[in-house]
A and B are shown apart, each in its own frame.
Chain A
Amino acid sequence: MSITTPVLAASDLSKHYGNAAVRVAAVEGVSLTVERGEFVAIMGPSGSGKSTLLSILGAMNPPTGGRVLIDEIDVYQLRQDRQADLRREYLGFVFQQLELIPYLTALENVMLPLAILKEDGKRDRALAALERVGLDEAKANRLPSALSGGEQGRVAIARAVVNDPPIILADEPTGSLDTATGDQVLSLLRQLAGHGHAVIMVTHNPESLRTVDRVVMLRDGRLASDSRVTAGTDQLLAPHGFCSG
């Protein structure tokens, strides 16, 4: 059992859409904590609120109720500019479609979060991030369209870690990739957790259970289960409609 302070703590989160007459609860009463070095998968059927929860945890979507603490900072008590600072310092995002900017090279894509900083050595930091995910300088100077799907995934992860944030949020990062490439991405995220990053990943992919530490199950926006992955987790997920190959 960890005795460290969780890098992320969410309590009683809710997110409602619509108006008083028609109200839809995307997330309802969800609480969870994540520690550094932990690799957490958020799973659940489509429409269960996984991506909404991730965006709330990512300081991009204010909840209707509850609060999110990142490194003990109450995220949604901050002004918007400070929330942006917090995203830059504490959070790295990996998106389902990877969202690489097509007219920037791999290196420039990785430098994107650094472009707003007034400091030297940005290029070196970006190259180091690329090296960390296994891409050399030759690949760094290519446009995303000249890279394979796996390489694009690596660039997206390098962009997420270039600021060395303690928390990585990944929204179905393997969703648009083939199995082999998806495995590479999962492996990289696992490595990041091994280096002390808290990795929170929304996924539909039961294969990811082999790499994560913990599975948070959502159903209809509510927390259905929150369990550590063990040999019997497959059986645990089965009632929720998941099974690993």
Chain B
Amino acid sequence: MRLRYLAWANLRRHPGRAALNVIALAAAVSCFVLVLSLVLSLRSGVDEKLSQYGSSLLVTPNSPQLSLSYGGISLGSAGSGEVPMMDESALDKIRSVPSSTALTAVIPVLLQSVEIQGTRFLAVGTDVAESASMKPWWKVEGKLPENSNQVLLGLNVRNELRAEPGQTITVNGKPFEVAGVLWESGDDEDNLVVMDRGALADLTGQGTNINLVEVTAVSTSYIDGLAAEIEVALPAASVATVKKSIEFTNQANTALADLGVALTSLIVLISGLVVFITMLAAVKERRREIGVMRAAGYKHRHIRSVFLTETVLVSLIGAVIGGCVSLAAWLLGGRFAFGHDSGAQLNPLVVVLGIGLSFAIGALATLYPAWRAANLDPVEALKQV
């Protein structure tokens, strides 16, 4: 028989108390793992978006009538009419800003309403290949349009038209081949028809008019400066940076994360208190037992060891259960929250930290009770009735 057997035997003697401690620690672990994983996923999502889209900005005409959401950015207020136009000369002005060497692409975009098989859709006319290179999140079933007679459909458009890659559709009376279909993005891209800008201009008689310009820079560090310079060069235009949009999202995520951290801290504190109170009660209940042990030659460290071993066992069980609960909750809830292709995964390091947290809570909450047990006067302990 070893000291750890005494701890185990006492746990078996009080299964209810042990279960209470296990539940408290498991709750702390699972809450910690889930919240920290959520925070990390949100942050990595923002970082990923920043790295992917952060080096781009959109230049649009200033208009309160503009009702357009494109590229993940809401560009204006409500309105249902035709969107305002810019001239292609805006492109030269953008390419001539003082920091133009930081520009990597200036892509004009034409947005027009088109009729396809009796239904109106928003068509995006652009340099499809170049525009696609700025949108790494695009996943295409089929292929990207390779000429002006091909189009790319958003998922909702495809569903509405029941059109598959390779089929031909009629846009404003002219046949186009469906080159590919965009995977579901969950935003406005699902409702777009993407095609060559020249083809769309011919269909709608817009000539050299454009609605907006997509601009990319070599680095996010140039974005704010470029935006300011373009606003000076094009006083009638407004410039929206994707970075700002993501940073706004990040602020919301941070607030959510803070709330989660506060909630987790509260649960950790409560679980620590549960362990502390139950261990203190156990010390009181086992005073005579401790007195016998002291009389039998147990040193202070032996008594402490009995209680701390008990906590280690409880912490281990709590950590395992908490880890399993968080894993299950992550698999079920995480996929729901982040979507099928979010890439959000439970970080093993977070799980390890959660297990460590269980031991830390258990040990910290047991330190004082164990110290108190070890320092009980054996004579007084044996006097207690």
Q: Which residues of A contact B298 (CB under 8 A)?
A: 84, 116
Given contacts A99-B288, A99-B382, A122-B1, contact A112 B293 (CB under 8 A): yes
Q: Which residues of A contact B2 (CB under 8 A)?
A: 115
Q: Which residues of B contact A99 (CB under 8 A)?
A: 288-289, 291-292, 382
- Residue A113 lies at the interface, judged by CB distance under 8 Å to chain B: yes
What separation, in Å, do the CA atoms of A87 and B378 have in the docked complex? 12
Stretch of B6-14, B30-38, B250-258 lying at the A interface:
B6-14
Q: Which of A58, A81, A115 contacts B300 (CB 8 A)?
A: A81
Give the bracket for the number of chain B residues in contact with chain A.
20 to 34
Q: Which residues of A contact B300 (CB under 8 A)?
A: 80-81
What separation, in Å, do the CA atoms of A244 and B295 have in the docked complex? 32
Contact check, A84 vs B299: say whether CB atoms are below 8 A apart: yes
Contact check, A95 vs B292: say whether CB atoms are below 8 A apart: yes
Q: Which of B12, B293, B299, B382 contacts A95 (CB 8 A)?
A: B382
- B383 closest partner in A (C-beta): A51
Q: Which residues of B contact A104 (CB under 8 A)?
A: 6, 9
How many whole Å from B380's CB to the nearest CB in chain A?
Answer: 9
- Residue A60 lies at the interface, judged by CB distance under 8 Å to chain B: yes
Contact check, B379 vs A55: say whether CB atoms are below 8 A apart: yes
Given contacts A55-B379, A60-B379, A80-B300, contact A115 B5 (CB under 8 A): yes
Mark out the residues of chain B between 1 and 32 whose CB falls within 8 Å of any chain A CB in the assembled complex. 1-3, 5-6, 9-10, 12-13
Q: Which residues of B contact A73 (CB under 8 A)?
A: none
What sequence of 0s and 1s flags, for each residue 32-76 of chain B, a beta carbon within 8 Å of any chain A beta carbon? 000000000000000000000000000000000000000000000
Q: Which residues of B contact A139 (CB under 8 A)?
A: none
Contact check, A88 vs B9: say whether CB atoms are below 8 A apart: no
Q: Which residues of A contact B378 (CB under 8 A)?
A: 60
Contact check, B3 vs A116: say whether CB atoms are below 8 A apart: yes
Q: Which of A80, A85, A87, A103 contacts B295 (CB 8 A)?
A: A87
- A160 closest partner in B (C-beta): B296
Q: Which secondary structure dominates chain B's binding surface?
A: helix
What separation, in Å, do the CA atoms of A89 and B299 have in the docked complex? 13
- Residue B348 lies at the interface, judged by CB distance under 8 Å to chain A: no
Given contacts A58-B295, A60-B379, contact A103 B1 (CB under 8 A): no
Contact check, A116 vs B297: say whether CB atoms are below 8 A apart: yes
What sequence of 0s and 1s flags, for each residue 52-63 of chain A, a beta carbon within 8 Å of any chain B beta carbon? 000100101100
- Residue B243 lies at the interface, judged by CB distance under 8 Å to chain A: no
Contact check, B1 vs A108: say whether CB atoms are below 8 A apart: yes
Given contacts A103-B9, A104-B9, contact A112 B295 (CB under 8 A): no
- Residue B197 lies at the interface, judged by CB distance under 8 Å to chain A: no
Given contacts A80-B300, A87-B295, A99-B382, contact A114 B1 (CB under 8 A): yes
- Residue A78 lies at the interface, judged by CB distance under 8 Å to chain B: no
Given contacts A104-B9, A108-B9, contact A115 B297 (CB under 8 A): no
- A116 closest partner in B (C-beta): B302
Q: Which residues of A contact B12 (CB under 8 A)?
A: 103
- Residue A93 lies at the interface, judged by CB distance under 8 Å to chain B: yes
Contact check, A113 vs B297: say whether CB atoms are below 8 A apart: yes
What separation, in Å, do the CA atoms of A80 and B289 have in the docked complex? 19
Contact check, A101 vs B299: say whether CB atoms are below 8 A apart: no
Contact check, B296 vs A113: say whether CB atoms are below 8 A apart: yes
What separation, in Å, do the CA atoms of A86 and B297 have in the docked complex? 7
Contact check, A84 vs B294: say whether CB atoms are below 8 A apart: yes
What separation, in Å, do the CA atoms of A87 and B297 have in the docked complex? 5
What sequence of 0s and 1s flags, for each residue 113-136 of chain A, a beta carbon within 8 Å of any chain B beta carbon? 111100000110000000000000
What separation, in Å, do the CA atoms of A77 and B9 have in the docked complex? 36
What separation, in Å, do the CA atoms of A103 and B310 have in the docked complex? 15
Mark out the residues of chain A between 63 and 87 whose CB falls within 8 Å of any chain B CB in the assembled complex. 80-81, 84-87
Given contacts A113-B296, A115-B1, A116-B3, contact A103 B13 (CB under 8 A): yes
Most buried by A among B3, B13, B294, B299: B299
How many whole Å from A168's CB to the nearest CB in chain B?
Answer: 12
Q: Which residues of A contact B302 (CB under 8 A)?
A: 116
Give me the 9 closest cross-chain CB pairs, A-B, nearest first.
A88-B297, A113-B296, A103-B13, A111-B1, A93-B295, A84-B299, A87-B297, A55-B379, A99-B292
Q: 21 A-B Cβ contacts within 8 A?
A: A60-B295, A84-B294, A84-B297, A84-B298, A86-B297, A87-B294, A87-B297, A93-B295, A93-B296, A95-B295, A95-B382, A103-B9, A103-B12, A104-B6, A104-B9, A108-B9, A112-B296, A114-B1, A116-B299, A123-B1, A159-B296
- Given A80-B299, A103-B12, A112-B292, 12 more contacts at CB 8 Å? A60-B378, A81-B300, A84-B299, A85-B297, A85-B299, A87-B297, A93-B292, A99-B382, A103-B9, A112-B1, A112-B293, A113-B297
